[in-house]
Amino acid sequence: VAEAHNWHGHLSRKVVKRPVMTICYGATKSGMKQMTISDGHTDGLAGSRAANTTYIVNTILAAISDVLTEGKRIMDWLQDCVGTVGENNRAFDFATPLGMDIRQAYYKKTRHRVVTLYGVAVLWDEDKSLGIDSKRMRQAVVPNVIHSYDAAHLYATVLNTTERMDDDLAWCMVHDSFATWAGETTRQMNAAIREEFVRIYEQDQLQILYEAFVKSNGSAEGISAPPDRGSLNIQDVITSPYFFS
């Protein structure tokens, strides 16, 4: 394959990292192609930029499907289920493991043309009267579910650690990163983060999400059963040395 020859000697971790990291956030093949080009990975390669980009993105996607089989299966399931909900013009309602109610509802957009002294601007605004945008629902469900569950785990860890220390602690969080006092606090947090992870995921969260899809859809029609759970003993997380750093 000519494109494989073109990439020989130019393939690095940076080329692969961004597409792999963003696929769980709903990145599409088209989006990955744009990333590859905008990040400059195709610059200086022989042959067609479009052909080189298509080849490397297809290769990365094939590797993801081969290596991350179960994760990809769950992603596809989430997207298929929420697609059915969206096609029936319904929002997807679910709750985090801490009980916070979440609603995912993306509506189709109306185009507005605004004439100004500096030219014409085009604005897009969601319009509920146009109904649910099932395509955007599919693209957003994986990152929305992941971030909702990660946030619940983070919050539960803070509560658990604070209770263990029996003291008022100072915390600073950015996405999935913690900052707090060193010493005993971090030792207690090391245990708390594992305990809360086990507490959340020893429950069948896929079944819980399935029931949320059925309720949001108004029936089980078009909502497929969740993927089977694996054989991992979730309790092993408690003693895992590499679970958290």
CA atoms of 85 and 222, how far apart (whole Å): 8
Angle between helices 49-67 and 13-22 (to 10 degrees): 60
Greater confidence, 74 or 69?
74
pLDDT (0 to 100) of residue 72: 85
Check pLDDT > 90 for residue 106. yes
- The pTM (predicted TM-score) of the whole model is 0.83
Check pLDDT > 80 for residue 245. no
Instruction: Provide the 8-state DSSP code for 171.
Output: -
What DSSP line would sit under 149-170, residue for residue? HHHHHHHHHHHHHHHHHTS---
Average pLDDT, the chain: 92
Q: How confident is the model over 162-192, as pLDDT tens digits? A: 888 877 778 888 877 878 888 878 788 889 9
Sign of CA dihedral 96, 99, 100, 101: positive
pLDDT (0 to 100) of residue 119: 93
Q: How confident is the model over 7-52, as pLDDT tens digits? A: 999 999 999 999 998 887 778 899 999 999 999 999 999 999 999 9
Contact indicator for 147, 179 with CB cutoff of 8 Å:
no
Q: Is 145 exposed, middle or buried (0-12, 13-18, 19+ CB in 10 A)?
A: buried
Contact indicator for 172, 189 with CB cutoff of 8 Å:
no
Q: Give the confidence band of 122 by pLDDT, cuts at 50, 70, 90.
A: very high
Paired strand residues for 34: none
Proportion of the chain above pLDDT 70, given as a percent: 100
CA atoms of 104 and 226, how far apart (whole Å): 19
